[in-house]
């Protein structure tokens, strides 16, 4: 998303852009997300991302190279030389540029690392990414185990973020907003459903967030529970999934049954691209994402490569990166 937004901004200023994407389609993770409208638009920004993507695809000023993975970025005189692998033909080629914007994004947290939450073991434990894809592709939430509509649904926040046990102390910024918006979609599609939202903190993100939160708080079938879930398991004699949690207010250990459990996973640095940053002279910050302060001499970063952001903030950050590129190129000429 960030690469696309930055490319769009640069082409409007008359700059010719080559957009390199390792996957067959552009758009990054956001291309898989669902519209989170209920009786009104809830400003999740997914359709804005879809629109920006289409704009870049149609622009003559952008050379779009999909299935092209950047393997190395190297300073070459006053410009840059990129070693790029064409993943379809299995050949390497060189791309030259006066300036480079790294917008290689993040990696969604791998929920199997939290074995106690049963992801990968129980079909009805999903990640937020799975639910995004399910709502986008199938239109409604279903239990993968039997295709039935779930009535009791738990969302567990901060999975892979704010968690000392995995060394991620940072907040992923987008997961409270995406989880609340998807929970509202489920509630509006199935008025008989009940949502149990397990959280320790709520991080606002994006426009209309306060309205979304207020609507959830006023909904009698929406329960906010300040607790850390410690285990998800099954009793084979009973349907559903059992969840054990330590509730913050009462200090008691509670057990509840659910039809579907959604793990609100966060973002982490993409280890696949560490070599790229280092060779380009960039350094990681405290949380492992690229430290934007280390950008110099015509190399820039945009979007979540420098830390968690929602789509709106990724686009804003990409537009700022485009301005920095323009200033740099003006200084060179």
Ligand X SMILES: Cc1cc2nc3c(=O)[nH]c(=O)nc-3n(C[C@H](O)[C@H](O)[C@H](O)COP(=O)(O)OP(=O)(O)OC[C@H]3O[C@@H](n4cnc5c(N)ncnc54)[C@H](O)[C@@H]3O)c2cc1C
Q: Tell the burial category of 293 from Cβ atoms under 10 Å away from its Cβ (0-12, 13-18, 19+).
A: exposed
Contact flags string 41-60 toward ligand SF4, x per CB under 6 A? xxxxxxx-------------
CA distance 35 to 45: 8
Answer yes or no whether residue 175 interacts with ligand SF4 by CB under 6 A: yes
Query: Does 176 participate in binding ligand SF4 (rule CB under 6 A)?
Result: yes
User: Alpha helix (H) ranges present in the chain?
Assistant: 2-12, 46-58, 128-138, 175-189, 209-218, 274-279, 311-332
C-alpha of 323 from chain center: 24
The count of other CB atoms within 10 Å of the CB of residue 233 is: 13
Q: Distance (Å, rounded) from C-alpha 17 to C-alpha 13?
A: 11
Task: Tell me: does residue 158 bind ligand SF4 (CB under 6 A).
Answer: yes
Stretch that binds ligand SF4, among 22-30, 37-45, 63-71, 246-254 (CB under 6 A): 37-45
Q: Which of 69, 127, 157, 317 binds ligand SF4 (CB under 6 A)?
A: 157
**Residues 203, 176: contact at Cβ < 8 Å?**
yes
Q: How many CB atoms lie within 10 A of CB 222?
A: 18
296: phi > 0 → left, psi -120 to 50 → alpha, else beta; which?
beta
Our CB check for ligand SF4 shows the closer of 298 and 308 to be 308
Residues of this chain that bind ligand X (CB under 6 A): 1-3, 20-23, 28-30, 33, 44-46, 69-70, 103-106, 108, 128-129, 132, 174, 178, 206, 265, 267, 273, 276, 303-304, 309-312, 314
Q: Is 127 in the site for ligand SF4 (CB under 6 A)?
A: no
Indicate the residue among 240 and 325 with the shorter CB distance to ligand X.
325
Tokens of 51: 């629109």
End-to-end CA distance of the chain: 29
Q: How far is the CB of 281 from ligand SF4 (least distance, A)?
A: 30
Question: In angstroms, what is the minimal distance from the CB of 175 to ligand X?
Answer: 6
Total of chain residues touching ligand SF4, rule CB under 6 A:
23
* Residues near ligand SF4, by CB under 6 A: 35-37, 41-47, 157-158, 161-162, 171-173, 175-176, 201, 203, 264, 266
């Amino acid at each position: 998303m960030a690469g696309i937004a930055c490319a769009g901004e640069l082409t409007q200023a008359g700059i010719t852009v080559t957009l390199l994407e390792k996957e067959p389609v552009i758009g990054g993770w956001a291309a898989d997300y669902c519209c989170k409208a209920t009786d009104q638009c809830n400003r999740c920004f997914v359709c804005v991302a879809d629109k920006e993507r289409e704009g870049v695809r149609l622009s003559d000023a952008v050379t779009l190279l999909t299935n092209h993975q950047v393997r190395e970025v190297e300073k070459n005189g006053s410009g840059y030389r990129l070693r790029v692998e064409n993943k379809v033909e299995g050949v390497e080629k060189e791309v030259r540029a006066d300036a480079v914007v790294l917008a290689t994004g993040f990696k969604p947290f791998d929920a199997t690392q939290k074995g106690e939450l049963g992801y990968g073991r129980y079909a009805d434990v999903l990640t937020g990414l799975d639910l995004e894809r399910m709502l986008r592709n199938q239109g409604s939430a279903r239990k993968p185990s039997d295709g039935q509509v779930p009535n009791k649904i738990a969302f567990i926040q901060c999975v892979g973020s704010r968690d000392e046990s995995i060394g991620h102390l940072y907040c992923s910024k987008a997961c409270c907003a995406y989880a609340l918006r998807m929970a509202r979609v489920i509630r509006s599609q199935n008025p008989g459903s009940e949502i149990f939202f397990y959280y320790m903190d709520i991080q606002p993100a994006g426009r209309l967030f306060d309205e979304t939160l207020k609507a959830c708080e006023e909904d009698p079938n929406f329960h906010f529970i300040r607790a850390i879930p410690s285990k998800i398991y099954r009793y084979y004699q009973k349907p559903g999934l059992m969840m054990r949690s330590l509730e913050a207010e009462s200090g008691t250990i509670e057990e509840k049954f659910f039809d579907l459990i959604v793990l609100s996973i966060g973002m982490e640095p993409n280890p696949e691209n560490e070599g790229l940053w280092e060779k380009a002279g960039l350094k990681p910050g405290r949380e492992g994402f690229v430290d934007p302060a280390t950008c110099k001499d015509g190399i820039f970063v945009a979007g979540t490569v420098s830390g968690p952001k929602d789509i709106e903030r990724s686009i804003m950050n990409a537009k700022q990166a485009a301005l920095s590129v323009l200033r740099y190129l003006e200084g060179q000429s």
